[in-house]
Structure formats: C-alpha cells, structure tokens
Amino acid sequence: MTRIGEAFDRARRQNRAAFVAYVTAGDPSTEGTVVLARALARAGADVLELGVPFSDPIADGPVLQRAAARALANGTTLAGVFEIARRIRSETELALVLFSYLNPLIHHGIERTAREAREAGFDGALVTDLPPEEEAAARPALRAAGLDTIFLVSPTSPPARMAAAARLSSGFLYVVSRAGTTGARAALARDLPATIRRARSAAGTLPVAVGFGISTAEAAGKAAALADGVVVGSALVGAAETAGEAAVETLARTLVAACRRAGP
C-alpha cells in the first residue's frame, strides 16, 4: 500500500474522511510553500496536492490562477517543485500528490518527470487535463516509477468514462463536485450524492474523494458523509493570500474536524 492508500485507510479506521489539501508550489515563495505544508500537517491534513504552476490553467478559478501567476513570477519551475517536495517530505508525514497540467510534464519529459517526482518524495500524480482516453501519454511512465495515478470524474462523466477513470486510478478516484472551474462555493451541488454513488459503483474498493468548491466546515462535513476523502484548495490558497500561515492552519483545523463522522 502506498502512502496515499495508507492515509485513506487510516482515516477509514478513525471513522472520518481523509482531508486532502492543495497549495500551489512556489506561492508565496519556495520557503512559504514549505511553511504552509507544515501548517497543514499540524492541522491534521492527510494528503497534500502540490500544484505545478502553469501559464494556462484552464480548470482553475481566479484564486488558483493568481497563485500560479505569483509562483511563475517567482521563477518556480518543475525542478523547483521537486525541491519543495523534498523539503516537505523531510519535514512532514503528508502523502504528496504532484498536481499538474500535462504540458509542463511533457516539456520536462514524462519518464524523467516520473522518476524525479518519485525521487523527490511524491507518492502520486494527478494530471488535470489528461482524460482516460489519452492515458498512454503519461500513466505508464508514472506507474512504472511507483506513483499512484489519480483521474478525475465529474457529474457529466458518462458511465464508460467513469469506469475507465476508476480502472486507471490508484490511490483514489477524484470526483469533481460540479461543472466549471475551481473556486469556493456557498453550497454543494444538489446532484453530488448521485454523482458519488455512480463513482463508488465504478471504483469498487478504491477510495473516492470529492473536491472543487468545498470551502466551509458545513460543506466539508456533508462531503465527508458521502465520500472517503474531502479535497480543499481554493479556500486554503485564498486564506494564505489574504491572511497567511496562521489563517491557513486555523481553517484547515476546522475542515479536518468537520471530516470526522458521528458514531462508532
């Protein structure tokens, strides 16, 4: 079992959903990213998605777009992301997911990226714009390097695509809670329970995590009742942008607590 699998298994035994946090590597700086990771670890996060900044982040809302722009302005490269991951791996027990668009990985070389990511301490990879139909562009190299591969499904995913994404995923299957870009929302989508039921049917024993739009303890608690993991990105990045490390840790503690389920 990988570190990601262990994180979800530990959460299940503790009767809670795993808390998966996202930050953009290089924002507000290399050191600042490591500081945020330490804060999230103290708050009880299980998994950290470390985002590779990209100039055309089509799936991202304004908060993550600004974070990527700041990281790129700071000179953050894929090699820099790997150095940040080494620091986080040496200082925390967080499971680490390389979160990226495909272009930076191709530019660096897929096999080289996979090898260096694993050496840096990453446990898995999620390529945002890699659909199941094109998995051969990256998945074989990532799996050969020992990385879990995580694919996205959404409310609009037809049964065949959802089944393919689940079959190709390891670590967990990522359920996008709603159509559109990332960003905090006031409430969960009404059709989310049905989407997660379909995802669970496709995933079998593979854990299912839900993200996109979750920003409050109430939303996290409702998501935790449905899925094995809860993913929060924009709300944490927004807290870092406006108020810094302490605000991120406070928010993360609230969200982690909301992921605990009632009962034995």
Active centre residues (catalytic): 49, 60
Which residues in 157-188 are b (16+ Cβ under 10 Å) and which e? Answer: beeebbbbbbbbbbbbbbbbbbeebbbbbeeb
Pick from 41, 57, 47, 103: nearest CA to 78: 103
By three-state DSSP, how is residue 97 classified?
A: strand
Pick from 13, 22, 10: nearest CA to 264: 13
Residues 6+ apart with CB under 8 A from 262: none
By three-state DSSP, how is residue 36 classified?
A: helix
